[in-house]
């Protein structure tokens, strides 16, 4: 087995931790699996690539495709890649580092979701005068 993905839900975001090597043989399967594991209610995905020791252009394509798919659902993608990771070399050689949102750790990536989380929490709290909208005596439907 070349790679594995482990999922976790933290602070309303999906944390997908990929281990091993990502190349043409498994990139699109990994992308699909992450899409499947992300509920519509999640704020977004933290793609943790810290334990990845090889990532080629198929893997970079995965990142872009996942970002597009999530954007269409109003969700965000954040990457976790430590500075000394070989994945940084791939991104640098492909010239894409500056186009991607990269955090050095999963905690820092999750912190980026804080404003979105506050917004989502506010939307969930019902307005105080909500029950006055229903006219007295009429059964709520």
Partner 1 sequence: MLPPAAPFLAPADQLRILSGLSDPALSELGLEELLDEVLERVQQALEVDTVAILLYDPEAGQLLARAAKGIEEEVEQGVQLPLGKGFAGRIAAERVAIAIADVDHADILNPILREKGICSLLGLPLVVEGNLIGVLHVGSLVPREFGERDLAVLQVAAARVAPGIERARLYSALEREHRVAVMLQRSLLPRELADFVGVGVAARYLPARDGVGGDWYDVIELPHGLVGIAIGDVVGHGIRAAALMGQVRFALHAYALEGHPPGRTLELVDRYVQTMREHPMATAAYAVFDTETGSLRLATAGHVPPIVVGPTRACVLDVAPAAPLGAFPYGSCPEHELTLASGEMIVMYTDGLVERRGTALAQGIEDLLAMVSNAGSAEQVCRSAMGGLVPPEGLDDDVAMLVLHILPVPTRLRLHLAADPRTLADVRRVIRRWLRERSADADDINEVTLAVGEACANAVEHAYSPGPAWFELDATESDGEVTIQVRDTGRWREARGENRGRGLRIIDAAMSDVELTPTSTGTEIVMRRRLRTS
Parallel, antiparallel, or unpaired for β 44-48 and 13-22? parallel
Give the count of residues interacting with partner 1 (CB under 8 A): 27
Secondary-structure breakdown of the chain: helix, strand, coil percentages, each rounded to the nearest 5 = 45, 25, 35
Q: Are 80 and 103 in contact (CB under 8 A)?
A: yes
DSSP assigned state of 109: H
According to the binding rule CB under 8 A, does residue 3 interact with partner 1?
yes
Out of 33, 37, 58, 116, the residue judged to bind partner 1 by CB under 8 A: 58
Please identify, using beta-carbon distances, which residue of 18 and 46 lies nearer to partner 1: 18
Out of 41, 95, 122, 137, the residue judged to bind partner 1 by CB under 8 A: 95
End-to-end CA distance of the chain: 53
**Which of positions 35-54 make contact with partner 1 (CB under 8 A)?**
53-54
According to the binding rule CB under 8 A, does residue 101 interact with partner 1?
no
CA distance 27 to 21: 9
According to the binding rule CB under 8 A, does residue 88 interact with partner 1?
no
**Which residues form the interface with partner 1 (CB under 8 A)?**
1-4, 19-21, 23-25, 53-54, 56-58, 60-61, 64-65, 86, 89-90, 92-96
């Amino acid at each position: 087995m070349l790679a594995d993905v482990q999922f976790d839900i933290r602070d309303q975001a999906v944390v997908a931790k990929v281990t091993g090597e990502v190349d043409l043989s498994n990139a699109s399967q990994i992308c699909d699996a992450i899409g499947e594991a992300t509920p519509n209610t999640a704020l977004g995905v933290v793609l943790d690539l810290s334990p990845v020791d090889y990532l080629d252009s198929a893997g970079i394509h995965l990142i872009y495709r996942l970002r597009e798919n999530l954007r269409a659902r109003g969700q965000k993608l954040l990457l976790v890649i430590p500075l000394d990771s070989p994945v940084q070399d791939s991104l640098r050689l492909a010239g894409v580092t500056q186009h991607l949102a990269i955090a050095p750790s999963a905690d820092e990536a999750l912190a980026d979701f804080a404003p979105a989380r506050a917004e989502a929490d506010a939307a969930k709290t019902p307005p105080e005068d909500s029950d006055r909208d229903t006219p007295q005596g009429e059964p709520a439907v």
